Structure 1
Amino acid sequence: MVWEATNQQFRRRKRTRIWVGAFIGCICFLFFTPKIPRSPNHHYFLDMRNLLGVPNTLNVITNFPFLVVGVLGFVFALEGGVFNIRIGFLSSQAEVCAWALYYAGILGVAFGSAYYHLKPDNNRVLWDTLPMTVAYASLFSCLVIERIGQRIGLCCWFALLLAAFLSVAYERIYSDIRFCMIFQLIPPLAIPGVAFMYRSKYTHSIYWFWSTGIYLLAKFEAVADKKIYRVNNYVISGHSLEHLCLAVIPILLSIMLIYRENKFHRLGGLKDRP
């Protein structure tokens, strides 16, 4: 018993040091790096084809999957089921609110990104960035509520949402994307870090790591936009593939929510069996 208590205390200290180190790293990044303005090349995409009168057609219509999964996920989160299928995957009101806002952010990405890609410029990029930061903040908070606790998760949720709005406003006013860049690190670093350090009370936790892998693949496609476009004979660009790949993430997470079970209930049911 003493050894177990000591071990738990050691793990808590180790986790605390990691959190403090991550926070200090973010502060150092903000205070000791020069301002990073958004590059004019950010608004230049290789595939600028105009099909059926829609500018940058593929970059616009590849946002449609976000609309579908955003609407269905929002219904799942609020109602716990759709098409008369009963789904009990959310065990608290805090989880319901956080997941609902995550899917609302995905829905916002569908409209914001499509609007931006119709005419990419600094004035429209706000509507592409804000829904994404809201979705990232909500998704990370969902994980914190699940793994650490409701109170900490809700505090994290409100703090990150405020930071999301402030980061977009800061970029708009001062032309500095450093705050927004930190939000880009939530899916590949913060989410798998928390998922690895803290145990889940639910099954199907592997979906968090699969989603992280899909996110990294999507970012690779964005960076290799030109090369991918040339390799596939100018059919679809890497940026359009990035949209489709990112839309897979809420689909995977929805599957996780639908099929996951409470581990303790599951173990209790197994013990009751003859």
Structure 2
Amino acid sequence: MESKWRLLPAVVVLVCAISMLMYGVIPQYDAYHVFADSKTYLGIPNAMDVLSNIAFGLTGLMGLIGLSLAWILGRRWGAQVTADRWQPRDIAYLVFVVSIFATSFGSGFYHWAPDDARLFWDRLPIACACASLLAAVRIEAMNVRRFSVAAANVLVLLLFALISVLWWKNTGDLRLYLVLQLLAIVLIPLWQMTYPTMRQTRWVFAIAIGMYVSAKVAEILDVAILSHTGFISGHTIKHLLASGAAALIIWNWLSAKCVHASAATTDLKRSV
């Protein structure tokens, strides 16, 4: 896409900021902590909403194991392969994986006994996941080559994530937290359209974003979905869809690393 369109993401951020300032405070609605499915199984209150968070834990664990294997293989085949595998974007993707893993515990902790105090620990890893994913795609799309610049991108966005959750906790205003999630949905495809991005990556993120939007819709239809299915609520489906979206993104990241490493390993063997 022409370079003039590369200002579009900045325009979107500006429009979102102005819109939120003009709209005013967005409070959390009173019945937020009341979920459709409150059944207890095996002594676990709100069991389905609690246990469905295992999906986030498994997704994060998959990413950490995959990354560990990449590191071990990189050490085995030497510096040439290691250098090929470890890219500046990997800093952000690693934070994303850790954030998804932490979401399993934070969300499970919240749903065990929902209240505002516990909700902080649910929203914090989610905000960090959105922020680190924004950083990862920005670093990848703009082909950032310096690890220091990539780390700065991650730290700035993580700081915004922390501020967004602290702002809600201290003021009751959800604007910053909601803007962060909105920007993750809007900016990621914009960056991938305005900068050269692999076709597979664009499709994976498009599907993942679609799954995440569907998860938010399922959250809104929590009661209606349970009344129609009789066994699973919208909020439980939200957890499964959101973790599935994260799994797709992590798989795409790790598969790309494996392809690069495989090519580097072949070149290294030929040179020996």
TM-score, with structure 2 as normaliser: 0.84
2:28–2:173 contact (8 Å) kept in structure 1: yes
- Shift of residue 45 of structure 1? 0.5
Q: Give the corresponding residue for 2:59.
A: 69
Answer whether contact 1:144 1:153 (CA < 8 A) is retained. no
Aligned to 2:100: 106
Question: How far did 1:169 drift?
Answer: 0.9
Q: Give the whole-Å Cα distance in 2 for the aligned partners of 1:230 and 1:202.
A: 40
User: Where do 1:206-245 residues align within 5 Å?
Assistant: 206-232=203-229, 234-245=230-241
The answer on 1:161 being equivalent to 2:143 is no
Return the offset for 1:153. Answer: 4.6
Whether the aligned pair in 1 keeps the contact of 2:67 and 2:254 (CA below 8 Å) is no
1:197-240 Cα deviation digits (max 9, x unpaired): 221268544211111111111111111111111111x2010100
Give the match for residue 114 of structure 2: 120
The 3 A distance-change label for structure 1 pair 42 and 91 is same
Structure 1, 253-262 or 142-151: larger mean CA deviation: 253-262
Q: Provide structure 1 residue ranges, at least 5 long, that are not aligned to the other structure.
A: 1-7, 270-274
Cα distance change, pair 64–164 in 1 and its aligned pair in 2 (3 A): same
Distance 2:250 2:10 in 1: 32
Once the two structures are overlaid, the 10-residue window that deviates more, 92-101 or 136-145, is 92-101
CA distance in 2, matches of 1:192, 1:122: 33
- 1:187 is aligned to 184
Q: What's the CA shift for 1:94?
A: 2.0
Does 1:52 find its partner at 2:49? no
Q: CA RMSD in A?
A: 2.8
* Bigger mean CA offset, 72-81 vs 158-167: 72-81
CA contact (8 A) 2:120 2:165 kept: yes
CA shift at 1:119, angstroms?
Answer: 0.9
In 2, are the aligned partners of 1:146 and 1:201 still within 8 Å (CA)? Answer: no
Counterpart for residue 173 of structure 2: 176
Q: Any conservation in 2 of the 1:187–1:215 contact (CA below 8 Å)?
A: no
* Contact 1:75-1:81 at 8 Å conserved across structures: no
Aligned amino acid, residue 175 of structure 1 = G
* Gap change, CA 1:257 and 1:23, over 3 Å in 2: closer
| Regions of 4+ moved over 6 Å | 81-84, 86-90
Q: Counterparts of 1:247 and 1:82 in 2: how far apart (Å)?
A: 26
Give, in whole Å, the separation in 2 of the partners of 1:237 and 1:129: 20
Cα 1:93–1:204 change in 2 (3 A) is closer
Paired residue type of 1:75 = I
- Give the aligned residue type for 1:138: S
The corresponding residue for 2:133 is 139
The amino acid across from 2:204 in the alignment is Y
Q: Larger RCO: Structure 1 or Structure 2 (Cα < 8 Å, ≥ 6 residues apart)?
A: 2
Greater Cα shift, 72-81 or 52-61: 72-81
Matched length = 254
User: Residue 205 and residue 19 in structure 1: after superposition, are their counterparts in 2 closer, same or farther (change >3 A)?
Assistant: closer
Deviation at 1:258, TM superposition (A): 3.5
After TM superposition, give the deviation of residue 165 of structure 1 in Å: 0.6
Residues 192 and 212 of structure 1 are in contact (CA less than 8 Å); yes or no, is this contact kept in structure 2? no
State the distance in 2 between where 1:257 and 1:243 align: 21
Distance apart, 1:187 and its partner CA: 3.5
- Does the residue aligned with 1:123 lie in a helix, a strand or coil? helix
Distance 1:73 1:132 in 2: 16
What is the aligned-residue identity percentage?
25
Match for 2:16: what amino acid?
A: C
TM-score by length of 1: 0.83
Q: Distance in 2 between matches of 1:52 and 1:88?
A: 46
- Choose the corresponding residue for 2:253, options 254, 257, 272: 257
